[in-house]
Amino acid sequence: MTTRVRALYDFSGEPATSELSITAGEILILTRTDVGEGWWEGTNAKGQTGLFPEAYVQIHKETAPAVNLPQQPRYDQAPDDYADQQDGWDDDWDEENDTYSEIGPPNNQIRQSASHQQINNYTNINLPPAPTEDTISITSTSAPLKRSGIFAKSGDSYILGTTTVSVPDNERTFIINTENGYFWKQIGDPYTVRVASPKKETKFKGMKSFIAYQLTPSFNNIAVSRRYKHFDWLHERLVDKFYLIPIPPLPDKQISGRYEDEFIEHRRVQLQEFVDWVCRHPVLSTCEVWMHFLTCTDEKRWKTGKRAAEKDNLVGATYCAAIFPPEKSLLQTQVDGQTENCSLFVHGMDGAVKSLLAISNEQTKRFQLQWKKDFQRVGESFSELARALEIDERRAITNINLSNSVGQTAGVFISIGQMFGDQPKSDWIPFCDRLHIYRGILGGFPDVLAVQRGAMQKRKECEKLTAEQKMGNAQLQEVNRRTDIMSYALLAEMNHFRAERDQHLKETMKNLISSQIDFYNQIITKLQMAQRYFE
């Protein structure tokens, strides 16, 4: 049977590519879902067939889910996209992720908002347009529901203490009370990890090639080689395990091929941001799966660790069993005040970050295209003037060289134009890369808040049951202790994020401003060169 899809948002396809422009509400016949890289192929009413982002459409009516369509050889085969079953190091990876160039179907809320962020993020790469306000709201309203659904499973059982899990010592996390509030306890020394410029690696005697990033931790200085799909796997593990910690986003899956080198370097920068953020987090930076990812160099050990991480019990709400906060119980009202304030703030900052990304994006384009052109045109007009003067000077008896001065000025303006074209690489683009983190984290907070709200709800139910003599006082105490743990975790995470954010934003602003100061100083130097010709 034919599968139809309805466009949720407008998407304008890149001209002269296999992409197809679609309009929100438009119905298309789905012709292929095995295109890969998060793209689907469809035919519109005009009979035009082409690719559009899967995330931009939804299956129409009760037609068979697209995933059930017969698999066909993949479209737009990229060198990194071959299945490589004989490749032990990489075996049983989800091949859908086995590429450094995807727009993946957002499979959790953090990715989703991350991929929206990406859409605003970067001009050098062809991407779908920024989604409408609706998209965002769809996301952040639907996600918590889904999440609390998942939570309900592990959550209730944890709160009610129906499941018991053993917590190995190395998994224990402590929350301490400082003068600045509750914080995750830092275990071990802080460290950094350098993500080095990626290199193309090959296997099967060059039959297969892919991009690998070199990660070098400061504590052992041993580089490991990781591909995007490894990061992607890690990210999923972290999201599953730490339901009360918003995980920083990965660079977005997206179409590569155009501007590939810039794209790869851009991705490296964003991976570095991700790694930095994890390294600075007391819990994430010490957890087992992260350490495994960061240090494992042996193929066999890699596979064992991978299996272990995937079988981990201490995930979701259950992980709270590993959290050890101060003894004293929390004042509910105080906690509520802080969580409400937090969600207000998250909403506000999410909006602000969105506008900043939009305007940075525009500024980037303006500098790279219009301003570069404008200054070069000024330069060209001056050289036209210089040529005219030169005609007359030929005849002049005195030795005039105004034409030379004007010609030199022409050159100055043309090179200023070039500077305008290059400048975004030094200010707005890095600025966007830094803000990328926030789109992810701010996108994650609503879930975390929902998780805690769910727990508080459960707690009230239990209080009611106890009032009705249907639950013992001892058990209620235990429920309160466990829900307090969740609140403690949330408070610790909020404080950690605040501290991180202040440092990180401060640097971000500082870099933006000083890079612009440098830029205008360079222009002045150039103009002063021109000025000297007219002294």
Nearer Cβ to a copy of itself, position 120 or 270? 120
Site for a copy of itself in 360-419 (CB under 8 A): 362-363, 366, 374, 377-378, 380-382, 384-385, 387-389, 391-392, 394-398, 400, 402, 405-406, 409
Quick one: which of 67, 145, 467, 513 contacts a copy of itself (CB under 8 A)? 513
Q: How far is the CB of 467 from a copy of itself (least distance, A)?
A: 32
Q: How far is the CB of 444 from a copy of itself (least distance, A)?
A: 16
Q: Which stretch binds a copy of itself (CB under 8 A): 58-66, 145-153, 205-213, 358-366?
A: 358-366
Residues 6+ apart with CB under 8 A from 516: 427
Strand partners, 175: 184
Rounded Cα gap, residues 259 and 250, in angstroms:
20
Q: Which stretch binds a copy of itself (CB under 8 A): 142-150, 185-193, 265-273, 497-505?
A: 497-505
Q: Which stretch binds a copy of itself (CB under 8 A): 157-165, 226-234, 319-327, 514-522?
A: 514-522
Site for a copy of itself in 210-249 (CB under 8 A): none
Strand partners, 196: 214
Query: Would you state the structure tokens that stand for residue 482, as one six-digit string?
Result: 């466990």
Q: Contact between 341 and a copy of itself (CB under 8 A)? A: yes
DSSP-derived 3-state class of residue 355: helix
DSSP-derived 3-state class of residue 33: strand
Q: Contact between 328 and a copy of itself (CB under 8 A)? A: no
Q: Contact between 176 and a copy of itself (CB under 8 A)? A: no
* Count of residues in contact with a copy of itself, rule CB under 8 A: 63
Tell the residue number behind the tokens 């991978």, with chain if given. 306
Q: Which stretch binds a copy of itself (CB under 8 A): 127-135, 252-260, 320-328, 527-535?
A: 527-535
Q: DSSP letters along 166-186, please?
A: ---GGG-EEEEEETTEEEEPP
Beta carbons of 154 and 298 less than 8 angstroms apart: no
Quick one: which of 191, 348, 457, 460 contacts a copy of itself (CB under 8 A)? 348
Going residue by residue from 30 to 59, which x/- string records binding to a copy of itself, judged by CB under 8 A?
Answer: ------------------------------
Beta carbons of 150 and 139 less than 8 angstroms apart: no
| Identity at 34, one-letter amino acid code | D
| Identity at 305, one-letter amino acid code | G
Nearer Cβ to a copy of itself, position 64 or 513? 513
Q: How far is the CB of 221 from a copy of itself (least distance, A)?
A: 32
Rounded Cα gap, residues 152 and 317, in angstroms:
9
Quick one: which of 180, 197, 221, 333 contacts a copy of itself (CB under 8 A)? 180
Q: Contact between 502 and a copy of itself (CB under 8 A)? A: yes
Nearer Cβ to a copy of itself, position 258 or 510? 510
Nearer Cβ to a copy of itself, position 59 or 385? 385
Q: How far is the CB of 472 from a copy of itself (least distance, A)?
A: 36
Q: How far is the CB of 509 from a copy of itself (least distance, A)?
A: 5
Beta carbons of 519 and 419 less than 8 angstroms apart: yes
Mark 260-269 as b/e (b = at least 16 C-beta within 10 Å).
eeebbebbbb
Q: Contact between 509 and a copy of itself (CB under 8 A)? A: yes
What backbone phi and psi angles, to 5 degrees, belong to 166? -90, 135
Q: Contact between 167 and a copy of itself (CB under 8 A)? A: no
Identify the helix (H) or strand (E) that includes residue 490. Answer: helix 473-532
Of 152, 66, 130, 138, residue with least CA distance to 109: 138
Beta carbons of 314 and 169 less than 8 angstroms apart: no
The answer to whether 267 is annotated as binding is yes
Q: Contact between 152 and a copy of itself (CB under 8 A)? A: no
Nearer Cβ to a copy of itself, position 12 or 521? 521
Of 272, 296, 156, residue with least CA distance to 224: 296
What's the gap between Cα 327 and its chain centre? Answer: 37
Quick one: which of 195, 264, 342, 448 contacts a copy of itself (CB under 8 A)? 342
CA angle 250, 251, 256 (to 5 degrees): 140
DSSP-derived 3-state class of residue 436: helix
Q: How far is the CB of 535 from a copy of itself (least distance, A)?
A: 8
Going residue by residue from 455 to 494, which x/- string records binding to a copy of itself, judged by CB under 8 A?
Answer: ----------------------------------------
Query: Would you state the structure tokens that stand for residue 133, as one six-digit string?
Result: 């306000």
Q: How far is the CB of 186 from a copy of itself (least distance, A)?
A: 17
Give the per-residue SS3 of 62-116. CCCCHHHCCCCCCCCCCHHHCCCCCCHHHCCCCHHHCCCCCCCCCCCHHHHHHHH
Beta carbons of 106 and 58 less than 8 angstroms apart: no
Rounded Cα gap, residues 171 and 185, in angstroms:
13
Quick one: which of 4, 59, 498, 500 contacts a copy of itself (CB under 8 A)? 498
Q: Contact between 330 and a copy of itself (CB under 8 A)? A: no
Which residues in 224-324 belong to E strands, given as ranges?
224-226, 323-324
> Residue 297: CA atoms inside 13 Å, Cβ hemisphere, count?
10
What backbone phi and psi angles, to 5 degrees, belong to 400? -95, 140
The answer to whether 229 is annotated as binding is yes
Q: How far is the CB of 510 from a copy of itself (least distance, A)?
A: 4
- Dihedral sign (CA 439, 440, 446, 449): negative
Rounded Cα gap, residues 115 and 250, in angstroms:
9
Q: How far is the CB of 342 from a copy of itself (least distance, A)?
A: 7
Annotated binding site: 227, 229, 267
Q: Where on the chain is the footprint of a copy of itself (CB under 8 A)?
A: 179-181, 337-338, 341-342, 344-345, 348-349, 351-353, 355-356, 358-359, 362-363, 366, 374, 377-378, 380-382, 384-385, 387-389, 391-392, 394-398, 400, 402, 405-406, 409, 498, 502, 505-506, 509-510, 513-514, 516-517, 520-521, 523-524, 527-528, 530-531, 534
